[in-house]
């Protein structure tokens, strides 16, 4: 016999259950984005040895991820304010950047790996450097 509660339609999914929409890096700054084409791989593979010396590899990542060194050169004050507000709003959530070291540009999902570093120049200009890590 089927229990009575099994005959009731399940509730509709709530908006909280929907996957988060990823935002894109600000278009006004994307043309200035100087992304390193020799990005490093983040990989956590570790080799353990059994008592008989047999090696065994283990890792927690499903696959290696890119760590991308990024530079935004020559930002004026409004550009810095735009970047700073984007960073503060998205520092813990994924966003996309234009990525195409081989010429085929795609929207690569990334996260900030660390806080940005700002270096001041004369004339109100600054350069911002930061690292991004591929997501997921």
Task: Report the domain count for the chain.
Answer: 1
Q: Say which residues have a Cβ less than 8 Å from residue 49's Cβ, sequence separation at least 6.
A: 55, 56
pLDDT tens-digit profile of 82-97?
A: 999 999 999 999 999 8
pLDDT tens-digit profile of 39-91?
A: 677 767 778 888 888 888 877 767 778 888 889 999 999 999 999 999 999 99
Q: Provide mean pLDDT across the span 25-36.
A: 78
Please tell me which residue, 121 or 33, carries the higher pLDDT value.
121
Please tell me which residue, 48 or 132, carries the higher pLDDT value.
132
Range of the domain at 45: 21-134
In a domain, 14, yes or no: no
Question: CA-CA distances (angstroms) from residue 87 to 3, 17, 122, 133?
Answer: 51, 25, 24, 14
pLDDT at 1 over 50: yes
pLDDT at 17 over 80: no
In a domain, 31, yes or no: yes
Give me the CATH number covering residue 128.
2.40.30
Q: What is the dihedral of CA 108, 110, 114, 120, to 10 degrees?
A: 40
113 near 91, Cβ under 8 Å? no
What secondary structure does DSSP assign to 53-92, as a single string? --EEEE-SSSS-EEEEEEEEEEE-HHHHHHHHHHHHHHTT
Residue whose pair of structure tokens reads 């890119």 in the numeric block: 66
In a domain, 1, yes or no: no
Specify the pLDDT at position 6. Answer: 54
Specify the pLDDT at position 18. Answer: 46
The torsion angles phi and psi of 18, rounded to 5 degrees, stand at -75, 145
Q: How confident is the model at residue 13 (pLDDT cuts 50, 70, 90)?
A: low
In a domain, 71, yes or no: yes
């Amino acid at each position: 016999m089927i229990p009575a509660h099994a005959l009731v339609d399940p509730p509709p999914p709530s908006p909280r259950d929907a996957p988060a929409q990823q935002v894109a890096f600000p278009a006004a700054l994307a043309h200035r984005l100087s992304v390193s084409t020799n990005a490093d791989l983040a990989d956590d593979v570790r080799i353990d040895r059994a008592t008989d010396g047999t090696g065994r590899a283990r890792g927690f990542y499903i696959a290696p991820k890119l760590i991308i060194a990024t530079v935004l050169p020559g930002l004026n004050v409004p550009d810095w304010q735009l970047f700073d507000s984007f960073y503060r709003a998205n520092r813990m959530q994924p966003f996309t950047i234009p990525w195409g070291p081989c010429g085929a540009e795609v929207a690569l999902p990334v996260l900030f790996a660390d806080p940005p570093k700002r270096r001041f120049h004369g004339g109100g200009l600054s350069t911002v450097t930061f690292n991004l890590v591929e997501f997921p």
